Structure 1
Amino acid sequence: MSKFAVFEFWLPAVLVTLWFIASASSGSVFFPPLRNILQSFGDTWLGAGFERDIIPSLSNLGIGLLIALVVGVIAGLALALFPYAADVGEPFLQFFRAIPALAVLPALFIMWGTGPTGKIVAIAFGAVWPILLNTLDGIRSIDPSIRLVARSYRVNRALLIFRVLLPGALPQITVGIRTSLAIGAVLMVGSEMYVSTAGIGHFVIVAQQTFALTDMWSGILLLGVIGYLLNFGYGLIERFLLRWQPPARTTKRSTRKARSGRRNQVIHS
C-alpha cells in the first residue's frame, strides 16, 4: 500500500511544486500566484463555502449516481434476461446514449425544476447509460454454457442472477460506473453553472463574471481535487469488489509462461 501511495501521489506533488515556483512572481491578473489561490481556497472552502456549496454539490452527485446505478443495473439485467426486448430497444438505447446530457438540461429543468431535484435527475440521466450498457454487455459476454449448467441443476432465477450473472458481469459494470462517475461530475458542475443559486459550479461562474479570478481558480482547483479523490476512492472500492480476480501482471506473466512452455514443447517434439 505504501509503494502504491508513493506512485499515486508523486506526480501531482511534483506538478503542484512546479506550479507554485513558476507562478511565484506572476503579476498576471488572469493567472495569479498559486499561493494566492491556496489562500483563497482555505478562506472559501474551509469556511462558509463548505456548507453553502460543497455539501449541496456532492449530495446531488451522490444521489444522482446512486439512482443511475440502481436503474442502470436493473434495466441492463432485465434486457439481458429478455433478449427480444433488448433487440427491440437497442436503437432507442443508442439514440438516448448519443445525446449529450448537457444538451438535455433545459428540457430536464422545465420538467423537474431548477432545484436539487432537477440537478439530480440531470446527473442520473447522463450517468445511467454507461452502467446500463456495460451491465447488458457484461451479462451477454458470460459463457452460455454456464447458464445451461445452472438450468440443468434447476437453479432458481434469483440465485442465477445474484450468484452467476451479476458477479460474472461485475468487471464490466465497474467500468461503466467509473465512466458514469466522470459524466456525473461534469453534469454536477454544468447544471450549477446553467441555473443555480448554490454549488461549486455556481461559485466558479459567479467568480468569473465578477472578475474575482483568484476565487475562480480556487473553485477550479477544488473541482480537480474532488475529481481526483473520487477517482482514487472508487479505485479502492473497485479493487475490493474485484479482489477475486488475478492481478493483471500475474495474468500476463502466466500467459507468457504458458506460451513459452508450449514453444519449448514444440521444439523438443
Structure 2
Amino acid sequence: MTLVIRTVRITRRGAVRLTQLFLLPVLLILLWWWYSSASASYYMTTPGEIAATFVEVWFSERFFVDVLPSVGLLLTGYALAAVLGTTLGVVLGLSSRMRATAEPVLEFFRAIPPPVLVPLLMLLVGVNTPMKVALIVSGCIWPILLNTIEGVRSVDPVLADTCRCYGVRGRRWLTTLVLRSASPQIMAGLRQALAIAIILMVISEMFATTSGLGFSIVQFQRSFAIPEMWSGIVLLGLIGVTLSTLFVQVERRVLRWYDGVRAAARDE
C-alpha cells in the first residue's frame, strides 16, 4: 500500500512538472496559430507550415553544412572565453594592485559593443573562422571575468585564515578555497555568457561568409523564403534551450555543495 501511494505521488509530481514545462509553450503556439491563420500578412506563417519546413530544411545536408559548424564555432568561442575570463578573473581578484591598474582598460574595452568590432577583426584577422571565434570571445569574456573577480574578492576571510593556519597553500588553496568559494558567481557569469555566445555566433555569420546558421537565416530573409526563415529562428531557439538545459545539469553538479549549504542554513 505504501509503495502504491509513493508511486502515485511521484506520478502526480511528474504530471505537474510536465504541465509547468509545456503549458505556456503550447498556449503560445496555439495563440500564434490562431493569429497567423487569421492574418492576411505574407510574413506570418502558421506553426504547422513552419514545422513542415523545419523538417524539410534542417533534416537534410544543411544540418551538417550549416548547423554543426555553427554550434562548433559557438562552443569554441565560449570555451576560450570561459578559460580566459576565469584565469584573468582569479589573477585580478587576488591582487588589488593589479586590479586597480587594469580597471580603466577593462572598463574601456567592456564599453565597446562586440558587433562594432567586426570590421576591425575582418581587417586584422581576416574573414575566416578565427575572426568569428574572436568576436564571440570579445563579448562572452566580460560577464565571466567580472563575476570571477567579484567571486574571488568575496572569499570569506575567516575561511582564508583557517586555511592559512592549517597550512593549506598553493594549488590546493586555490582549488579548495578560492575557486570553490567563487564558483557560484563564476557559474552565474558563464550562464550570462552562454546567451551572448549564441547572439554573437549569429552576428559573426552575417558578414562575408557563405555558410552557417546566421548566413542561412539572412539568405532566407533576402530571398523572401519566409517559412524557411522562421524555421531557422526556431532552430536557434531550440539550440539555446538545449545548451541551457545542459548547462543547468553541469551547474547542479558543480554547485551541489553550495545548494547543500543553503539548505542547511534554511533548516537552522
Q: Same fold (TM over 0.5)?
A: yes
Q: Is the 8 A contact 1:138 1:169 kept in 2?
A: yes
Equivalent residue, structure 1, for 2:26: 13
Could you tell me how far 1:252 is from its partner in structure 2? 8.6
Could you tell me how far 1:147 is from its partner in structure 2? 1.7
Is the aligned partner of 1:232 residue 2:245?
Answer: yes
TM-score, length-normalised on structure 1?
Answer: 0.88
Q: Is the 8 A contact 1:130 1:180 kept in 2?
A: yes
Aligned length: 255
Cα 1:154–1:253 change in 2 (3 A) is: closer
Which structure 2 segments of 5+ residues have no match?
1-12
Q: 1:182 aligns with which of 192, 195, 198?
A: 195
Residues 204-219 of structure 1 correspond to what in structure 2 (within 5 A)? Answer: 204-219=217-232
Could you tell me how far 1:248 is from its partner in structure 2? 10
Q: Could you tell me the percent identity over the aligned residues?
A: 37
Alpha-carbon deviations, 1:55-105, whole Å to 9, x = none?
A: 111000000000001111111111122221011101111211121111111
Q: Is the 8 A contact 1:24 1:34 kept in 2?
A: no
Residues 125-136 of structure 1 correspond to what in structure 2 (within 5 A)? Answer: 125-136=138-149
Q: 2:85 aligns with which of 72, 77, 95?
A: 72
Is the aligned partner of 1:243 residue 2:256?
Answer: yes
Aligned partners of 1:248, 1:200: CA distance in 2, in Å?
A: 42
Cα 1:251–1:17 change in 2 (3 A) is: farther
Letter in 2 for 1:108: L
Letter in 2 for 1:163: T
Equivalent residue, structure 2, for 1:86: 99
Is the aligned partner of 1:154 residue 2:167?
Answer: yes
Q: Is the 8 A contact 2:94 2:153 kept in 1?
A: no
Which structure 1 segments of 5+ residues have no match?
259-269
Cα 1:9–1:232 change in 2 (3 A) is: farther
Q: Is the 8 A contact 1:61 1:185 kept in 2?
A: yes
Aligned partners of 2:131, 2:140: CA distance in 1, in Å?
A: 14
TM-score, length-normalised on structure 2?
Answer: 0.88
Classify the secondary structure of the residue corresponding to 1:154: coil
Cα 1:241–1:22 change in 2 (3 A) is: same
Letter in 2 for 1:121: A
Q: 1:32 aligns with which of 34, 45, 68?
A: 45
Q: 2:216 aligns with which of 179, 194, 203?
A: 203
Classify the secondary structure of the residue corresponding to 1:245: helix
Is the aligned partner of 1:123 residue 2:136?
Answer: yes
Q: 1:193 aligns with which of 184, 206, 221?
A: 206
Aligned partners of 1:53, 1:80: CA distance in 2, in Å?
A: 40
Q: Which runs of 4+ in 1 moved over 6 A?
A: none
Cα 1:187–1:170 change in 2 (3 A) is: same
Classify the secondary structure of the residue corresponding to 2:258: coil
Cα 1:251–1:194 change in 2 (3 A) is: farther
Equivalent residue, structure 2, for 1:264: none
Could you tell me how far 1:232 is from its partner in structure 2? 2.1
Equivalent residue, structure 1, for 2:156: 143
Aligned partners of 2:17, 2:264: CA distance in 1, in Å?
A: 19
Is the aligned partner of 1:109 residue 2:157?
Answer: no
Classify the secondary structure of the residue corresponding to 2:248: helix
Cα 1:13–1:250 change in 2 (3 A) is: farther
Alpha-carbon deviations, 1:239-262, whole Å to 9, x = none?
A: 2211222379957954xxx6xxxx
Q: Is the 8 A contact 1:126 1:183 kept in 2?
A: yes
Could you tell me how far 1:27 is from its partner in structure 2? 4.1
What is the CA RMSD across the aligned residues, in angstroms? Answer: 2.1
